[in-house]
Amino acid sequence: MTDLGGRHVWIDGRIEPAHVPHISAFDRGFQLGDGVFETLRARGGRPTELPEHLARLRRSATGLDIDLGPSLERDIEAGIAALLAAEGLAGPTGDASVRITASRGAFAGRGLLPPEQPRPTVVIQAWPVPPTPRDHLERGLHLAVSAVRRDPASPLAALKTTSRADYVYARLEARRAGADDALFLTTDGRLSEATSANIFLVRGQELATPALDCAILPGTTRSWILGWAGAAGLAPVESSLAASDLAAADEAFLCSSVAGILPVTRFEGAPIGAGVPGPWTLRARAAREAFIAAPAG
């Protein structure tokens, strides 16, 4: 483990030093991936779109029948503030990625079925956001298709659960292929999303993204971009897209809360559009970063 000296975590209402053990070996999050999580950005101590992230955390937990209790939202808001302060990330120049993880909790017994009265474990962690690698902005990301397919009929498709083995597998696949990230297709052959981001294509004056029935996580950044597009002069379209649509797009980009908007310039080894980050992508990125930096963000 890297040096955690001086770092902290928030766990079940307490700020603890990061280097001491926190979680029971019996925790179902560790044993089974029986949990949910959120990742968000906090600039100047202000968590961006916190209500949206908390609502998605609740939806994911409800989808797994995990009751996170009535005070979760209040506790997490206070917990983020306390943790950012402890980490020295609450000041005007603070720029943090914040992860909230909630598992069903520890259970001494065995088996898949949860105990009658689980006591969820809730953890908040924070990291300083490193500068975006210059390569990612100037050269853009290269994507390769994953062998893992996502199933739009799965009741888990839109939940942000801690069962992330598929995503880890896909990231390793991408690295072996010399790509920066993997792109999932659905079981019926449509574009879905990347391993931790949604995807958008610019096609003329249209800004297209896979619809919610394409086994995607309904991204908070994706929603923001769909709202931004109209005012910026692009027609937002949510639809079924094919890999060939990505290959033929003028521009493409990925989006997520922490990394923001990143250009995609190659897909399966071939350039997208001019093969360089496109003007709409850079405009969208600048608008999103300004939104995150604004006091109302």
Q: Where does this chain touch ligand PLP (CB under 6 A) — which range of 61-69, 94-102, 105-113, 216-224?
A: 216-224
Instruction: Kindly state the helix (H) or strand (E) to which residue 136 belongs, with its residue range.
Output: helix 134-138
User: Closer to ligand PLP at the Cβ: 86 or 209?
Assistant: 209
In the set 48, 196, 265, 281, which binds ligand PLP (CB under 6 A)? 196
Q: In angstroms, give the least distance from the CB of 98 to ligand PLP.
A: 11
User: Closer to ligand PLP at the Cβ: 183 or 272?
Assistant: 183
Q: In angstroms, give the least distance from the CB of 196 to ligand PLP.
A: 4
SS3 (DSSP) at 212: coil
In the set 125, 221, 265, 281, which binds ligand PLP (CB under 6 A)? 221
Length of the chain: 297
Q: In angstroms, give the least distance from the CB of 156 to ligand PLP.
A: 12
Query: With binding defined as CB under 6 A, does residue 256 bind ligand PLP?
Result: yes
Q: In angstroms, give the least distance from the CB of 105 to ligand PLP.
A: 23
Residue that is written with structure tokens 């994507």 in the block: 143
14, with CB counted inside 10 A (0-12, 13-18, 19+), is exposed
The angle formed by the CA atoms of residues 127, 128 and 129, to the nearest 5 degrees, is: 110
Query: With binding defined as CB under 6 A, does residue 219 bind ligand PLP?
Result: yes
Alpha carbon distance 292, 257 (integer Å): 9
- Taking residue 251's Cβ as centre, other Cβ atoms within 10 Å add up to 24
Query: With binding defined as CB under 6 A, does residue 198 bind ligand PLP?
Result: yes
Ranges within 32-61 binding ligand PLP (CB under 6 A): 39
Question: To the nearest 10°, the Cα dihedral for 72, 85, 262, 49?
Answer: 40
Q: Which residues pair with 46 in a beta bridge?
A: 43
In the set 27, 95, 181, 193, which binds ligand PLP (CB under 6 A)? 193
Query: With binding defined as CB under 6 A, does residue 217 bind ligand PLP?
Result: yes
Give the CA count within 13 Å in the CB-facing half-sphere of 133.
7
Query: With binding defined as CB under 6 A, does residue 220 bind ligand PLP?
Result: yes
- Binding residues for ligand PLP, rule: CB under 6 A, are 39, 193, 196-198, 217, 219-222, 255-257
